[in-house]
Chain A
């Protein structure tokens, strides 16, 4: 299948600082990418839909000023967690939409572990 890569895979940051996570589609162009977060033993929760060249669409209850999403190119979307707090510690996962006529497939990255201390 197609490859989606995230970086960093693990990051530790101090409270109050900002941290950026990158999501790249390595072998295809993705006009649409998605960001999720996942807590231990829980399912994935969709945070936002990222569209290349336009503003992201956030799910209800997700603070857009805290979780900044930028999708500046067809292969890269970034999630910046601003003014991080310990409760932002989580597993963040991105996915990218591969359009193939009607058979659109969504591929996920490996995920990024964020720990805020």
Chain B
């Protein structure tokens, strides 16, 4: 079973920051948090991952709480192309077990 819980859906206005939360209260000390997104009928796209420090790349920022029980993916300036299902995944035993994700709708 997936070790994460996410809201099923969120809306965001185009040009604004999209903040996607994720709870992973049972995460262990050496387990990484990964974020992917999937646009309809395509394979998941890697976004970012981290262990305990905040991470930033050209796509997004990942903020992990100090106790590591939750994290937030931030898309700083959402565009219509960012509409997708976003998956927060704790990698356990080397495997990515997907939960239901958050369906993000970016609206004009």
Total number of residue pairs linking A and B with CB closer than 8 Å: 50
Closest 6 CB pairs of A and B: A108-B43, A44-B98, A111-B43, A108-B44, A43-B98, A110-B43
B41 touches A46 (CB 8 A): no
* Residues of chain A at interface, number, CB under 8 A: 25
Q: How far is the CA of A78 from the CA of B81 in the complex (A)?
A: 32
Q: B100: CB under 8 A from chain A? A: yes
* Residues of chain B at interface, number, CB under 8 A: 21
Q: A58: CB under 8 A from chain B? A: no
A34 touches B95 (CB 8 A): yes
Q: Chain A's nearest CB lies how many Å from the CB of B101?
A: 6
Per-residue interface assignment for chain B, residues 29 to 66, with 1 indicating a CB less than 8 Å from any chain A CB and 0 otherwise: 00010101010011111100100000000000000000
Q: How far is the CA of A104 from the CA of B100 in the complex (A)?
A: 23
Q: A105: CB under 8 A from chain B? A: yes
Instruction: Given A43-B98, A113-B41, output 14 extra A-B contacts at Cβ < 8 Å.
Output: A43-B87, A44-B38, A46-B98, A91-B41, A95-B44, A103-B49, A104-B32, A105-B46, A106-B34, A106-B96, A108-B36, A108-B43, A111-B41, A111-B42
Q: B21: CB under 8 A from chain A? A: no
B96 touches A95 (CB 8 A): yes
The contact of B45 among A34, A44, A108, by CB within 8 Å, is A108
Q: Chain A's nearest CB lies how many Å from the CB of B27?
A: 16
Interface residues of B in 58-108 (CB under 8 A from A): 87, 91, 94-101
